[in-house]
Structure 1
Amino acid sequence: MTSGSGGGDVRGNTFHGPAFIQTGGGNTQYNYLVQPSHRLREPPPAPQVEDWLVDRAEADQAIAAVCGQEGGAVGITTALEGAGGFGKSTLATLVAASARVRRHFDDRVYVFGMGRDVRHRAGIARKVCEAARFITEDTTPFDDPDLAGAHLGRLLDRHPDHRFLLVIDDVWEAEQLAPFLMGGRRCVRLVTTRRPESLPRGARRIRVDALSEEQARTVLTWELPPLPGETVRGLLAATGRWPLLLRLTNRVIAAQLDAGAEPATAAHDVLRQLEGKGPAAVDELAPFPGASVFSDSSVVSDLFGISGPDDPELRRRLLDDPEQRKRLVRATVEAATGLLPTRGRLRLAELAVFAEDEAVPVPLAATLWHATSGLGELQARQLCKTLHDLSLLTMDKADGGRLTLHDVIRDYLRHDLGPERVTELHRVLLDAVAATLPPPSNPLPLGPMPRAAWWELTDGYLLDHTVGHMLAAGHGGEAEAVASDLRWVEARLSRRGPLAPWSDLARIPAPGARARAQDLARAMHLLEGTQPANALRAVLRSRLQPLAAWHDQVTARAHRPGPPALVNAWPPPDMPDPRLRRTLTGHLGEVDAVAIEPGGAWLATGGGHDGTVRLWDSATGRRLATLESPSGRVRAVAIARDGTWLAVGHGDGTVRIWDPATGRNTSTLNGPARPANAVAIARDGAWLAVGHGDGTVRIWDPATGRDTATLTGHAGPVVTVRVATNGAWLATTAHHDGTVRIWNTATWQCVTTLGRDPWVQSVSIAPDGTWLATTGGNGTVHIWDTESGRVTRTFTDPAGRVVALVIPPDGTWLATTTSNDQRDGTVRIWDPATGENTARLGCPGWVHTMAVAPDGTWLATGYGDGAVRLWDTGADRDAPPPTERAGWVNWVAIAPDGTWLATGYVDDKNVVRLWDRATGRNIRTLAGHTGRVHALAIAPDGTWLATTGADSTVRVWDTTTGRNTIVHTVDGGAAHALAIAPDGAWLAVAAHRHIWLHDRATGRTVPVIESPNTLVRALAVAPDGTWLATAGNGHGSVRIWDPATGANTTTLASHGAGWVQAMAFTPDGTRLATAGGDDNHARVWDRATGETVATLTGHSGHVRAVAFDPAGELLATGGDDGTVRIWEATTGRPLTMMRVDGPVYACAWAQDGRHLAVGGMGGVYLYEFRPGT
């Protein structure tokens, strides 16, 4: 590296700031202090560069690369796949400290560490949020890494006058890196990784190999007196010029000199050790015992046909061989440990019991050493310093001191210890840690009690690895007891996110642990971060309390003191079907395409609105990669049979080919500018067929990108393309033309046309090709004999239009799913031979697509809310009958005396149901509306209630008898809102833009107000009945009216030019809350002044419901993000929240101020609010 064109002189710099951020260890917890700001912080100083580091050509390349582009990524990786110790991180430090780099980026160079274990979504999101907080003053929390990455990108783009360099060190997965690549047009990312496939497409790649002879000589002899040339050459050969081992060797010789050894003798002794024990001797290749390959150039030439020990090809052969690398490490480490007393060598080896690539607290190492040898902490710290000076480990003084063993050295030490001693050390470590913990207090009704209160651990390393240490020690029973304890689950969840407690249980080979792991897996998508953070415990308990394996524990913990919380008063109506494996979330809009890799290890999902394809691990639910393209909406996804590529059809007509291993878009097929609705790939991958919106099917050669055939004949957009198992023919369907066409793949001629059902939606082919199934818009499924072209069986899905159909590889069943206004989300399993519906799977929602795993044991469904659900198709468990409280509830109200509540449902029954609050039983059903119920309100004395609906009627019901006492039809179409006067003498009804008043005494209904809103969605009456408030579509305002005159007396600007979805007033009428618009906020207003009292931020979707408690001190909100949140009404401070499995549309407080009823897509929920102690 030369000054000017390179990085300049980087030595002598000091580092005073936190340029390296690590959250994998320590006591990191979720933080949710929201302080939006995009002001840049002062950039950190340059990192310190060790004096012994040498200039490397790769550093020049990296410096030139990052300074030579305005954006994008530069990747530093190793020349040897998976090899460590070659100096990737060191090289990144050189770049970050380079004077040229710091001038170019005006010191805005930021270094962040990732690591192997940061893999779950919440952990990656935390890393991105910390980057945002470190670069700017923004503290906005995210639990989704994509949202966090997009936010970071926006923050960077707000400073177009600045260049930024983000150094992301030790990346293991493309998923870890993806959020850091979003936005930031003038931001360059420098990435270090052992896995080149994790780098983005187009990244400049710099490979780090063994050092050159001159560089290696510098590292080897740093600060040493002159050594004999022959000895130096021998040491260079013996270490393979591997930076890690060169530094170790240098420290060994330096330590000998410090003890008074003569330089030449010390170096020669080390060389003899290396040649005697390491691969530099390659003794098994020598022609006679005791010979050294490197000592005789003729031997080298004879064996390898190369010139001698300095030949780069020989070094390559040695370092390419993992076994040779192991021997090299052994020799070098033994040379270093030979300088330690026996106790020191043993203590170093004992550190190998700790997890790989983890920073181990020095006090924990001291605890282990005290147990094995009586070593005190002072002595332990002195030994750590010695080991650090010998470069046998790295010690960081932060957080009380942390040790890191390079994994190369750790592997050697574990091998040297042997499996029995390693197992014994796990036991010793656990015993020592347990002795520092209190015994479990207040035993839970669990079974075997853990011997210590492991959940009281505060160190991140122990929380992450205690269960692993228990299993490695052979203590499986204790591991299960700990991982199954609710206190442990809560501790792990709060500190490490939902994947942590699940992984603890999933790794334990016991039926009870696996069952509990599955319970957590089904709820995992609901267990991401909350606002405030302590509400996460309430969400967890809500989902576990109804389950037999957890019920007693949750009940036992329910009345312990704690922060404000919502607690189940009724079991949630949306508890998952036991055949649900897990739910995958992240798409920002409906999922229109799902495909499963032929081995079943991963699946690909396509998001309609967000235009991305996401790859997921089917076993863990972990997102593997996100594929983004400019082609817009994803319509179809297909995976090649060998799993090496996939094809994605887009709304603009293009089909993009991707390499799932690297995340690269390898080619693009440009078809007609009509949506590519369906894609199918030949079994041998030689061609793919694409069904387009113009009615054609295009055949492409993926190798050349050529369009080889165009199939015409359909009279509408092609929506399905399926290839027969033998590849000899394919079947296609199109909207509205009512046919299935069979095409010969050798000639591309249409050989058969089946059916004339105008609503043919989908087709699937049996594995043996003897029959196929088609679906229709009226819910019919036809089974066709492919030879005769005749229908052999017809059956009907009772839920309506069938949108997706799959047949498993064994052809013994088929599955259908429907789309209807009730969003029932049901998947039905059928016996194709008999037409019998043998099983039902599902949850509320609109299912858009479906795919079955290659072994037929599970299937995946894509939903309109952006979720993908994985289902077990096994016959050993059937879906439980849905609770009577399940279903889409859009309105809820609680009787004045609090003994019952009423709900309005969105279903084909158009009813209102009354529920006993104490028991949760349905006590009465009010039927009469001929369209959807839009609103309901209960009279002040509770003896009657009123409803409005899509049938344009207002109905009054006797709540004791259930009798419909009054029916009135309003002009103007559907009635969307109503409110009852405080004395019950009249009620107000909103029908589109008109407000009608119904006088109960006279029975007269008259229009009194015409609102400028195109549709009034919310209506409220003053506590004294002297005014009305309306809100709805258009203008985004709340208007106050005099019901006697119809005059608009006040207008409050609420949500800009958007719409107001919901509105509520305090009991004294002085303040109101509104929700709506596109800002995902709720607002509290002073009615008299029109000033905003508080803006409530936290919802990640439209806010649909607001309700004040009877004291006017608390506000409940609910929305499309599936959360119910409780706020301090005067300050906007979040007190607690609950998360459910679907949007929330309504909420209402009981007069006791303790119970909150909630309505949503999943049904009706009842919670008890506990204010906290």
Structure 2
Amino acid sequence: MITAVVSAVTSLAENAATGQDRWPGPLDQVRRHAWIVLGVGLTLALLLTLYALFNDSGSSVAAEDPPAPAPPEIPRWVVDRAQVRVVVGELLRRRGQGSVGITATAGLTGAGGFGKTTLAEVVWADRRIRRRFRGRIYRITLGLDVRSRAEITAKVAEATRFITGDTTVFDDPDLAGAHLGRLLDARPPMLLLLDDVWNAEQLAPFLIGGAKCRRLITTRLPELLPSGAFRVKVDEMSAVQARQVLGFGLPGGLSEDTALGLLRATGRWPLLLRICNQYVHRRMDTGLAADDAAAEILGQLRQEGPAGLDPGVAVDLNHPRSRQTAVAAAVEAGAALLPPGGFERFTELGVFAEDESIPVDLVTLLWQGTGALRPGQSRDLCAALGGLSLLELELDPARGGRIRLHDVIRDLLRSRLGDAHLERVNGALVDAVAANLPLAEPQPGGGTGPVRAWWQHPDEYLPDHLITHILDAGRASEAEALALDLRWIERRLAQGGATAPLADLDQIPTASAHQAAIDLARTAHLLAPIAPDHALGAVLRSRLAGYDNWLPQASAWRSTSPALYNRCPLPDMPDSAQIRVLTGHTGPVSALAISPDGTWLATGGDDRTVRIWDAVTGHITATLTGHTGPVSALAISPDGTWLATGGDDRTVRIWDAATGHITATLTAHVGRVYAVAISPDGTWLATGDNYGAVRIWDAATGQTTTTLTGRDGRVYAVAISPDGKWLATRADGTVRIWDAATGQSTATLTGHAGPVYAVAISSDGTWLATSSRDRTVRIWDTATRRTTTTLTGQTGRVIALAISPDGTWLATGDNNGAVRIWDAATGQITATLTGHTDPVYAAAISPDGTWLATVADGTVRIWDTTTRGTAGALTGHTSRVNAVAIPATSSRGRTVRFSEAATGRRTTTLAVHAMAISPDGTWLATGDNNGAVRIWDAATGQITATLTGHTDPVYAVAISPNGTWLATGDKTGVVRIWDAATGQITATLTGHVGRVYAVAISPDGTWLATGDNYGAVRIWDAATGQITATLTGHGSGVNAVAISPDGTWLATGDNYGAVRIWDAATGQITATLTGHGDRVSAVAISPDGTWLATGDNYGAVRIWDAAADHTATTIVGHSGWVSAVAISPDGTWLATSSVDRTVRIWNPLSGDLATTMRTEGGLRALDWTPTSDGLATAGDFGLYLYDFDPGSPPAA
């Protein structure tokens, strides 16, 4: 249509411009200025086109979405309020913009009961708003009960499904929010009503993406609103509005004196106005005149409420005591209308938790126990209380009827109950619910568990608050028994994530509960939601089985569903110094700082966010967005009120620590900002970039006051002296000392043999420490500028560095993931903390020196610096192990780890990259980065042989079918054949020019196949070591090789995503299987040779029919590249491992996921035991041996 309009305008203008005849009247002006008219017309047409494209963009995608919900029906008593018009005008005036849309967000804030949600609903129902967004308006209610990361993730997933129909599952709220944001980006403009927001962690996922999406947020806490939000405060009603609510539905209205008195007595608070209105209506039902009823409740308010002393003064609702007194008077007035015993029953509702939605069925159980009310009577009483506006009735088709108490009313009820009555009513509630639950089975392991199977209660309210109710009933031992039962913990994990059982344990003041909470906190990051749901129980028990107090329960448990069980202790149990692991960033983390009071810490990462964490709970309290690139530097002001960050976007941003809002953006750097430091008095800051510039900024004005010259390459770190008079910067191999006042360089410290990565200055300023790529840390005297100590012993580049507040010790982190604690006086290592699997980019020590934080591999780890001890382990290898062959069985308690020779403390675990199971399962082989191949006795855990010959990392290991020999391949392309009995090299196979990533041995053991990173596949005679064939056809590196059970064909996978089938006799390609979108990393062939499985770098697994048509089924579930696939010897199960830290077992016929196990590090190797009832997997932390049980068949 627009094309037709443009064509018509063009034709008209051309005729006008070339014609000679005058046009009638004013139209002749068009003829005389035809080309101008044409330009204007075309411009308008273009603007109309762009407008249409903007508003219709995504319409084709949205066409498949579920229908948008209908607007709410607004109660007739709701009055028009000016705030509605303000919000509507704002939403109509401005369009959403930016990556998170926060500059176009409206927010409604105010105390409880002032009508924020109602106002938002009125905005939703407004015809102009519905026309603006074409009906695409969606409400997501958060509420106080959505607390944990799991609950927030579930809420985001629920919203995603509600809006788009997408059902993708995530176990992280930010990942789920990013996915929702991407889906919103592809859709037309819409409005999200984010109702009842209580914390920044709830809000953050909903602010990601959705450039054309507007957000309307309701919250009691204005500081939660994002930077740039348009704010509307909702407080008391006007006198006119309050009169309308008070007099709603009352014939003839109220007298002036009575109405004015009620307005003053209620403070024009909607909550109290509705109570008064409903009171009058109930009295009118008995024949009392409206004004008489109103005068009656006014008298009670004046007698009992805060307005009693002076009827001419309105109650001040800004004061909690005044609010409480006013509510007490109104409630007592309404209670007079309840049936006998009704007020007492109502008062008992005070035992329930604040700001919660309480099932009516639970209320009926309580009242049955306390007042012998039948269910029908209880429901009638709830209805009466709702009719009096003393509580809110909620009709939820999915969850049944529920009630909600306003927090002020609940406080009143609890004060009326008193401590003794609270204990009695809580006891009655617990007993009433317990009577409807089955008796608990004996606790696995023979421990003393709870009497009732509380974990079978279906509703969500009770699990969240059961421990509190039991404790409030005076039954501490019963609460402890329940909180320590793994069946209950599993239920709580599934419902509320790891924070739920931790919250239960934190309420119980016993040593056993405290230790249990410590154990659970150390592994909490591994207890996120997992697919399938039932696998969470196995993961929980796998992780806790390493602790003596949990072992009896964990080892005795068996599931009716498919599950993996620890066959021996895990190699990745957390260091005894590890307190907890904080997860939330969606990429690498490289910046870290701890607040001056030690109550919170801040981190920045490649996901462009800055996250604020509670140091005690580990919860994210805020996510700061604004950087357009990775955040690489961070510092917190001395008073903790603000922080500064620098990033790849070349900016330095100043943030208010309380609100999370950006208060200034400093722009002057032309390169990435790698370093930020704030002066001790907080008046200035220093920053450094990758072009070598160091800038001094005035913290108040944001202006550059000095630019330091004389730089030596990239500035990776800046540190300021305790007195603020000088600063140190590090660059390529040197450290410069600068006078802070003059900006002049006063000294250059040299001595490191490589780039200096970190600088830290002691608290007294007398010495500083530097770390370098040369694997050393140097201590320098700041007066003499000389090295006083050189700390050696690191196995990698020292990237992170921090000095304790008292200057007696320092902490370092290297590129191998190790964190070391050093004695500053002696230069000796006092502890090595393990847990990170990637380079440690930053370290920070708490102000009291009792804990340490480090960042690496996308996580933040908190360490207890007063413990520093680590468990002993087997020694043998002196470097990283890359390949292992594992037996079918292994003795319990044997793991492969590195230890310090002197102390026996674990320093690092064996990283395994390849695996094969020996036929008899009596021994295993490992290969490491130094080229050593070790043979271990599976029963004793002793090294029986060390095979030497390789001089480079070993990437592949395979064991012959008769177990008499093994083959290994290394980085240089050498393949070695070893006699398993003598450990002697029987052959060295040369011919590959690239790294050998794959080795497979034929079923009869007469030949083997190898693949390298240049795409060559070679066939070797096992007896002579000669190449019998070289298979060509791959255009890129070969990562996997598998040979069919009959030895007639083999399959290989390459970097381009191709799987090739070869005839073993002729060396010809018989088929090329395509479908993988990325590198094929793993191949396995079924025992009967009828199908094969492959895995790729996108996390996809494909099952192929080995017959002529080679049809394929795709299985998805892994979030990282699939490192290995293995088919059980009986052909009934398919196992896959991944760098996403999971091993998964699938039904290959249906593609259904049977079970999953999660580990601390990425997994790279996998194989089944010969009997198909066990599984071995290996990765960053070493070897894992599991028993596999397919579970009990469903009952007939």
Q: TM-score, normalised by structure 1?
A: 0.90
- Which letter maps to 1:1054? G
Question: Could you tell me how far apart the structure 2 residues matched to 1:265 and 1:582 are?
Answer: 64
Question: Could you tell me how far apart the structure 2 residues matched to 1:251 and 1:880 are?
Answer: 71
Aligned to 1:1109: 1128
- Which letter maps to 1:1029? A
Structure 2 CA distance for partners of 1:912 and 1:175, relative to 1, 3 Å: same
Question: Could you tell me how far apart the structure 1 residues matched to 2:336 and 2:543 are?
Answer: 57
Pick from 44, 66, 77: which aligns with 1:52?
77
Deviation at 1:393, TM superposition (A): 0.4
SS at match of 1:898: coil
> Does residue 156 in structure 1 map to residue 151 in structure 2?
no
- Which letter maps to 1:830? W
Q: For 1:472-492, what per-residue CA distance to the aligned partner results, in whole angstroms no more than 9, with x for missing partners?
A: 233222221110011111111
Give matches, 1:165-314, under 5 Å. 165-225=191-251, 226-281=253-308, 283=309, 292=310, 294-295=311-312, 309=313
Aligned to 1:655: 652
Question: Could you tell me how far apart the structure 2 residues matched to 1:158 and 1:795 are?
Answer: 55
Deviation at 1:775, TM superposition (A): 2.0
Question: Could you tell me how far apart the structure 1 residues matched to 2:585 and 2:989 are?
Answer: 44
Deviation at 1:388, TM superposition (A): 0.5
Q: For 1:705-761, what per-residue CA distance to the aligned partner results, in whole angstroms no more than 9, with x for missing partners?
A: 2111111223121111111222222211112xx222222222222222222323232
Give matches, 1:887-1036, under 5 Å. 887-905=910-928, 907=929, 909-916=930-937, 923-991=944-1012, 992-1005=1014-1027, 1008-1034=1030-1056, 1036=1057
Q: For 1:495-515, what per-residue CA distance to the aligned partner results, in whole angstroms no more than 9, with x for missing partners?
A: 222221121112222221111
Deviation at 1:598, TM superposition (A): 1.5
Deviation at 1:652, TM superposition (A): 3.2
SS at match of 1:440: coil
Aligned to 1:783: 779
Question: Could you tell me how far apart the structure 1 residues matched to 2:120 and 2:147 are?
Answer: 22
Deviation at 1:694, TM superposition (A): 1.4
> Does residue 710 in structure 1 map to residue 702 in structure 2?
no
Aligned to 1:739: 734
Q: Is the 8 A contact 1:1157 1:1164 kept in 2?
A: yes
Give matches, 1:830-869, under 5 Å. 830-846=822-838, 847-863=840-856, 865-869=857-861
Aligned to 1:32: none
Deviation at 1:392, TM superposition (A): 0.2
Question: Could you tell me how far apart the structure 2 residues matched to 1:446 and 1:401 are?
Answer: 40
Q: Is the 8 A contact 1:77 1:194 kept in 2?
A: no
Question: Could you tell me how far apart the structure 2 residues matched to 1:875 and 1:1108 are?
Answer: 44
Question: Could you tell me how far apart the structure 2 residues matched to 1:228 and 1:1054 are?
Answer: 80
Question: Could you tell me how far apart the structure 2 residues matched to 1:468 and 1:723 are?
Answer: 48
- Which letter maps to 1:202? G
Q: Is the 8 A contact 1:75 1:192 kept in 2?
A: no
Give matches, 1:69-468, under 5 Å. 69-71=94-96, 72=101, 83-160=111-188, 163-225=189-251, 226-281=253-308, 283=309, 292=310, 294-295=311-312, 309=313, 318-398=316-396, 399-445=399-445, 447-468=447-468
Q: Is the 8 A contact 1:895 1:1150 kept in 2?
A: no
Aligned to 1:302: none
SS at match of 1:945: strand
Question: Could you tell me how far apart the structure 2 residues matched to 1:489 and 1:629 are?
Answer: 38
> Does residue 1048 in structure 1 map to residue 1069 in structure 2?
yes
SS at match of 2:712: coil
Aligned to 2:57: none
Question: Could you tell me how far apart the structure 2 residues matched to 1:227 and 1:392 are?
Answer: 22
SS at match of 1:329: helix
Question: Could you tell me how far apart the structure 2 residues matched to 1:411 and 1:923 are?
Answer: 71
Aligned to 2:1154: 1135
Deviation at 1:924, TM superposition (A): 4.4
Deviation at 1:79, TM superposition (A): 6.3
Q: Is the 8 A contact 2:1034 2:1054 kept in 1?
A: no
- Which letter maps to 1:514? H
Question: Could you tell me how far apart the structure 2 residues matched to 1:1024 and 1:606 are?
Answer: 55
Q: Unaligned stretches of 5+ in structure 2?
A: 1-60, 875-894, 898-908
- Which letter maps to 1:494? A
Q: For 1:346-377, what per-residue CA distance to the aligned partner results, in whole angstroms no more than 9, with x for missing partners?
A: 11111010001111111211221122222221
1110-1119 vs 1045-1054, which deviates more? 1045-1054
Structure 2 CA distance for partners of 1:353 and 1:364, relative to 1, 3 Å: same
Give matches, 1:488-499, under 5 Å. 488-499=488-499
SS at match of 1:260: coil
Q: Is the 8 A contact 1:78 1:86 kept in 2?
A: no
Deviation at 1:216, TM superposition (A): 0.4
> Does residue 665 in structure 1 map to residue 662 in structure 2?
yes
Question: Could you tell me how far apart the structure 2 residues matched to 1:75 and 1:775 are?
Answer: 46
Deviation at 1:630, TM superposition (A): 4.5
Give matches, 1:729-878, under 5 Å. 729-735=726-732, 738-759=733-754, 760-819=756-815, 823=816, 825-846=817-838, 847-863=840-856, 865-875=857-867, 877-878=869-870
Q: TM-score, normalised by structure 2?
A: 0.88
SS at match of 1:206: strand
Deviation at 1:60, TM superposition (A): 1.8
Q: Is the 8 A contact 2:627 2:649 kept in 1?
A: no
- Which letter maps to 2:918? A
> Does residue 1075 in structure 1 map to residue 1102 in structure 2?
no
- Which letter maps to 2:915? V
Question: Could you tell me how far apart the structure 1 residues matched to 2:615 and 2:154 are?
Answer: 24
Question: Could you tell me how far apart the structure 2 residues matched to 1:1040 and 1:262 are?
Answer: 93
Q: Is the 8 A contact 2:109 2:222 kept in 1?
A: no
Q: For 1:811-867, what per-residue CA distance to the aligned partner results, in whole angstroms no more than 9, with x for missing partners?
A: 121111222xxx3x221111111122112211251222211112111111111x211
Q: Is the 8 A contact 1:570 1:920 kept in 2?
A: no
Deviation at 1:136, TM superposition (A): 2.4
Identical-residue share of aligned pairs (%): 50
Deviation at 1:437, TM superposition (A): 2.6
1117-1126 vs 333-342, which deviates more? 333-342
SS at match of 2:1157: strand
Q: Is the 8 A contact 2:627 2:647 kept in 1?
A: no
Q: Is the 8 A contact 1:1063 1:1106 kept in 2?
A: yes
Q: Is the 8 A contact 1:1039 1:1052 kept in 2?
A: yes
Deviation at 1:1090, TM superposition (A): 5.2
Q: Is the 8 A contact 1:892 1:901 kept in 2?
A: no
Question: Could you tell me how far apart the structure 2 residues matched to 1:643 and 1:913 are?
Answer: 53
Structure 2 CA distance for partners of 1:913 and 1:499, relative to 1, 3 Å: farther
Question: Could you tell me how far apart the structure 1 residues matched to 2:946 and 2:334 are?
Answer: 82
Give matches, 1:454-533, under 5 Å. 454-533=454-533
Aligned to 2:900: none
Pick from 1095, 1105, 1109: which aligns with 2:1114?
1095
SS at match of 1:357: coil
945-954 vs 409-418, which deviates more? 409-418
Question: Could you tell me how far apart the structure 1 residues matched to 2:805 and 2:363 are?
Answer: 53
> Does residue 1059 in structure 1 map to residue 1056 in structure 2?
no
Q: Is the 8 A contact 1:859 1:871 kept in 2?
A: yes
Q: Is the 8 A contact 2:445 2:555 kept in 1?
A: no
Q: Is the 8 A contact 1:78 1:209 kept in 2?
A: no
- Which letter maps to 1:406? H
Structure 2 CA distance for partners of 1:881 and 1:619, relative to 1, 3 Å: farther
Q: Is the 8 A contact 1:77 1:208 kept in 2?
A: no
Deviation at 1:38, TM superposition (A): 8.7
Structure 2 CA distance for partners of 1:876 and 1:972, relative to 1, 3 Å: closer
SS at match of 1:809: coil
Structure 2 CA distance for partners of 1:147 and 1:37, relative to 1, 3 Å: farther
